[in-house]
Amino acid sequence: MANESTIGAIVLAAGESRRMGTQKLLLPYAGRRVIEHIADATLSSRVDHTIVVTGFQPERIREALDGFAVTIAQNDNYAEGMLTSIRTGLAALPEDLEAFMVVLGDQPSLSSKIIDFLIDGFRASPKGIVVPYINDDSGHPIIIDATYREEVMTKFDDTGLRGLIYGRPEEVHRLPVTDPGVLRDMDTPEDYEREVRVLKLLQD
């Protein structure tokens, strides 16, 4: 939809990890902490700007990312929902964006390969929203054309980003992917144990 220019990634790292019982983004994964792995995946991809949105325990996330070429943006309203963090990230990104990608901070199997695959899918599609799908299940990250930036900043308070995606089905490209990691994030200790098991299987 837009001319090729820049892609910004908004990494959501503001949550309280209540169901995990500890700060899940600092759990060890593949020799580093989860949030380090996510930052490395975006920085190793063709994403041009990475904004990490903090909220709960920001100093711990900031310390974990010391030395990474990311921008930290603090969302003081993180308790009001994910949309506030997306808006915080958008506000920190340059004005001349082609598109922005919403990246979950608790999706530890995320790779630069799948990020680049999504970018390629976005640039090859005439549609403005790209969502990865496996069969009928949607996942993350998602890419949204920058022409929707103002809508995201000012609308969908009650529905979150789903309001944009469900409200414009004709603008959504359901991109088929084979990487099951796009469907998996971590909310509970069982989720984390699953990710560690999958990682071990891949390494063996």
What does the pLDDT look like over 127-142, one tens digit per residue? 999 999 999 999 999 9
Mean pLDDT value of segment 160-187: 95
Is 145 within 8 Å of 118 (Cβ atoms)?
no
- What's the average model confidence in pLDDT over 60-64? 97
Please give the structure tokens belonging to residue 92: 């920190």
Instruction: Identify the structural domains of the chain with CATH numbers, from first to last.
Output: 7-203 (3.90.550.10)
Give bridge partners of residue 103 from the DSSP assignment: 11
Q: What is the pLDDT of residue 2?
A: 44
Query: In whole angstroms, what is the distance from residue 2 CA to residue 129 CA?
Result: 12
Q: Give the predicted TM-score (pTM) of the model.
A: 0.95
Mean per-residue pLDDT for 112-116? 97
Per-residue pLDDT at 4 exceeds 60: no
Amino acid identity at 156: F
Mean pLDDT of the region 158-182: 95
CA distance 56 to 8: 22
Distance (Å, whole) CA 159 – CA 93: 23
**Phi/psi-derived region of residue 160, left when phi > 0, alpha when psi is between -120 and 50, beta in every other case:** left
Angle among Cα 72, 9, 34 to the nearest 5 degrees reads 65
Concatenate the DSSP letters of all residues of 104-140 into one string. Answer: ETT-TT--HHHHHHHHHHHHH-SSSEEEEEETTEE-S
Q: What is the pLDDT of residues 188-204, one digit of tens each?
A: 999 999 999 999 898 87
pLDDT in tens, 83-109: 999 999 999 999 999 999 999 999 999
Phi first, then psi: give them for residue 182, nearest 5 degrees. -65, -15
| Whole-number Cα distances in Å, 181 to 140, 150, 177 | 9, 30, 10
